[in-house]
Amino acid sequence: MMDARKAREKAFHEQHYAEDVRWKAVDKYYSIIEGRARYWEDFLRARCAGKRVLEYGCGEGNYTPRLAEFGGAVTGIDLSETAMQHAQAAARAAGLQVEFRAMDAEALEFPDQTFDVICGNAILHHLDLDQSFAEVARTLKPDGVAIFMEPLGHNPLINLRRRMTPQLRTPDEHPLKMSDFTLARRYFDSVEIRAFHLLSLTAVPFRRSAGFPRLVAILDRIDATLFRRLPFTMRYAWYAVAVMSGPRPAAATAPAKSGVGD
């Protein structure tokens, strides 16, 4: 039987996918994500051709068909059956071969070492991290790579806005802390973090002006320099992209301690 946390996650997302209300409400912040999206897309374009690829927690599969266009043999999974139906219908209509399956990301129904590439956007922070890191490590091939884009939970102003918009979020979601990447290092030999969107958030009010793309590009470059010169500032960014490789066999991963969070 599904536990209460997963049942709440499923109910929230089933409703939002059925009503299609959520993304429009948060759109204005998504006006600045170009640089991060390009980084993610370049990474995957270089790695998908001829490979088994999993999009982990893919929602309605807005991105999944791109992975097939890059030449991957692609599967998308998500807890929401509604999302999987929408995604499968859209892929069929586009004539793309992508398999979508309703599945719990914390208990994947795939054999060990199935995938060359596992990717996910805004999914880990909806999950139990020990269980999901263990499942990603188990189903990734030894020379495979995983990439995740996740919101970070250290910036007080961003957290204030989250508290002011509870209708956009599930009660159990938990934007990631730097300590969560320390946890990931129990499951992967290498976990590399890149932060995105700190000063660039100040461009959002100017999103309708002609110079907006240039302004965001300049602020992205300033952010990148800031994160490189003063790495502690990365934690205050809106998003992180984590690249994980060298999955460790289950026996090698120490059981998680409680109180890892900071």
Question: Is 41 a residue that touches ligand SAM (CB under 6 A)?
Answer: no
Write out the two tokens for 66: 């791109």
Whether 132 contacts 106, CB under 8 Å: yes
Window 75 to 104, contacts with ligand SAM (CB under 6 A): 78-80, 83, 104
Nearer to ligand SAM, 6 or 66 (CB): 6
Instruction: Report the residue from 105, 152, 234, 240 that binds ligand SAM according to the rule CB under 6 A.
Output: 105
Question: Is 127 a residue that touches ligand SAM (CB under 6 A)?
Answer: yes
Give the separation between CA 96 and CA 79, rounded to whole angstroms: 22
How close are the terminal C-alpha atoms of the chain, in Å? 31
Q: Which stretch binds ligand SAM (CB under 6 A): 28-36, 57-65, 181-189, 207-215?
A: 57-65
Question: Is 176 a residue that touches ligand SAM (CB under 6 A)?
Answer: no
Q: What angle do CA 64, 70, 71 make, to 5 degrees?
A: 100
Question: Is 150 a residue that touches ligand SAM (CB under 6 A)?
Answer: no
Residues 6+ apart with CB under 8 A from 118: 53, 54, 56, 136, 139, 140, 144, 145, 146, 147
Question: Is 124 a residue that touches ligand SAM (CB under 6 A)?
Answer: no
Residues that bind ligand SAM (CB under 6 A): 6, 9, 13, 57-59, 62, 78-80, 83, 104-106, 121-123, 126-127
